[in-house]
Amino acid sequence: MASAAPAAADTASEIRALKARLSKLEADEARARREARVVHASLPADKGPPPPPPPLHWYERLSLRGYTQMRYNDILSGGPNYYDVRTTNDRSVGDRQNFFIRRARIILSGDVSDHLYLYFQNDFASSPPNANSTSATFAAPTNAAGQAVYYFYNPVFAFPGYNQVGSYSNAPGNFAQIRDLYADIYFDKDKEFRVRAGQSKIPYGFENLQSSQNRLALDRADAINTCCKDERDLGLFFMYTPKEMRHLFRDLVKNNLKGSGDYGMFAFGVYNGQGANRIELNKGTHLVARFTYPYVFENGQVVEASVQGYTGRFMPYTQAIRPSLGMATNWAGFIPLNSPYATVGSAFVPYVNGPGWSSLGNFNFSQYGAVNTWGPAVANGGEGIRDSRVAVTAVIYPQPFGLRAEWNWGVGPQLNATQTAIEAKRLNGGYVEASYKYEDKDFGTGVYFPFVKWQYYNGGFKFDNNAPQGRVNEWDVGVEYQPLPELEFTAIYSHMDRTNTVAAPYRQFQADLLRMQLQWNY
């Protein structure tokens, strides 16, 4: 009993202290209410609560962001066709190239209202066609076998009589050009149904839709990207995305999982078909459709499967060449001495063998080409060449292992084997890319994305002059390093076996290439 008395006394003192604090709080609250009544009584009678803030103007709803990419490349080995080392997707690849601004993008976007979204992207690192092209071909004498052949300059072996007939361009680069300019018109408050009007990416292929700001490999795979120059065109696209899927597509990009963005779980569109920022050359349009479905497992892993296709007619661009044999091989440019090709000059323009062109029938090479600068004429409008593809896509997002594969098959414009006509030819190809996401939480050095990619393609490059055949079999091994969210550095080693589709005679080359890119986001 004696030992319990101090504890009881302490409890009583604590109760008294709590009552005192409670009384003080009640007094403070009563004083605050009295002061509030006094302030309210001093206000004019017609004054009520402060009005709500005015609604934002449409231009106050817009945001500005962008990114820049600077590259450097070094050809480690190029074999006998060293001066053919060119790629249509990256103008910085070449024997005389060093530093290069690949992209300089500024993006203005935002919801103008609840039913209208604006997206405007400009690129300030664009160049006119062939601005960085060079030509170093030499006259074609007869070899020991009595055959006329093409050669490119070889600094090791001297060939007497081989005179340069090429030229080098000094055209400047880095012009501003529209990449995207479209409006999303929403039909419902949840923004599940919309029509996209303007110049936008064509919903075909995951990698085409994935922003270059997020992509691991420096260039898109040729097999998919040859469908759509700059991945964009002018048209109308209907898109449907359920509300929960819209959030998922957004988070796959926001959480640095290399997502493609929201281009509709289902999309259907009609567009020119000639490519972004290019004049339409026939009255036909292209049709495209895509369905994609992402699925989230209980552990948070996300997989996605897609099927897509398009169809239309494409008008290829032509340029004077000297017809020869061996396109897409190491011996391209071969001209048999006793063949019709020997009498055809270098001013021959391949004709487009599609509906609307006059039929040439069986003609004699010696009567055309450079001899009298004859060329075919459009008979009834020039509809172009059939251009149709279908593709499948499978994606496992990097959490931490990632895997992505795409493959497409189809028919498209392609220069024939004699380099005299552009016809509809079969094509196929795709790629497989494996990656791993490692975030250094121990030392805080950043995020790493090592990856390996294999791509294959055999078909026409319809956007290059004369739509030459190209063969691509390439391996890329690289790593993307993000020390900060606003800074990325990528290094890639590429083992290339591909066709120089930039210039005739479209020779195959084998090369080892090291490329590096620094990207800053803002």
pLDDT computed for residue 455 by the predictor: 98
pLDDT in tens, 503-520: 889 999 999 999 999 999
Q: Domain holding 299: CATH number?
A: 2.40.160
Is residue 336 in a domain?
A: no
Lowest mean pLDDT among 43-52, 55-64, 254-263: 43-52
Is residue 93 in a domain?
A: yes
Cα radius of gyration (the chain): 32
Tell me which of 510 and 8 has the higher pLDDT.
Answer: 510
pLDDT in tens, 452-467: 999 999 999 999 999 9
Q: How far apart are the C-alpha atoms of 506 and 521, rounded to whole Å?
A: 37
Average pLDDT estimate for 302-312: 98
The token duo for 71 is 């590259």
pLDDT computed for residue 156 by the predictor: 41
pLDDT computed for residue 377 by the predictor: 45
Cβ neighbours of 206 (radius 10 Å): 23
pLDDT computed for residue 41 by the predictor: 55
pLDDT computed for residue 329 by the predictor: 94
pLDDT computed for residue 166 by the predictor: 44
pLDDT computed for residue 18 by the predictor: 78
pLDDT in tens, 407-428: 999 999 999 999 988 999 999 9
Please give the tally of structural domains in the chain.
Answer: 1
Cβ neighbours of 404 (radius 10 Å): 23
* Cβ proximity of 496 and 474 under 8 Å: yes
Residue 250 lies in domain = 78-320+350-521
The token duo for 475 is 């391996």
Average pLDDT estimate for 436-441: 96
Beta strand pairing status for 469-484 and 446-460? Answer: antiparallel
The share of the chain scoring above pLDDT 90, in percent, equals 59
Confidence of residue 30 (pLDDT cuts 50, 70, 90): confident
Is residue 36 in a domain?
A: no
Is residue 259 in a domain?
A: yes
Is residue 424 in a domain?
A: yes
Is residue 27 in a domain?
A: no
Spell out the residues 6+ positions from residue 14 whose beta carbon is closer than 8 angstroms to its own: none
The token duo for 166 is 């090429």
Average pLDDT estimate for 42-62: 74
Q: How far apart are the C-alpha atoms of 429 and 471, rounded to whole Å?
A: 10
pLDDT computed for residue 373 by the predictor: 43
Distances (CA, A) of 257 to 252, 301, 392: 5, 11, 20
pLDDT computed for residue 374 by the predictor: 46
Is residue 26 in a domain?
A: no
132: pLDDT strictly greater than 80: no
pLDDT in tens, 332-360: 988 887 777 777 777 888 888 877 644 44
In the three-class reduction of DSSP (H, G, I as helix; E, B as strand; rest coil), residue 76 is classed as strand
The token duo for 190 is 């949840």
What mean pLDDT, rounded, does the chain reach? Answer: 84
Is residue 390 in a domain?
A: yes
83: pLDDT strictly greater than 80: no
Host H or E run for residue 145: none
pLDDT computed for residue 202 by the predictor: 98
Lowest mean pLDDT among 88-97, 368-377, 402-411: 368-377
The token duo for 109 is 């976007």
3-state secondary structure 426-439: EEEEEEEEEEECEE
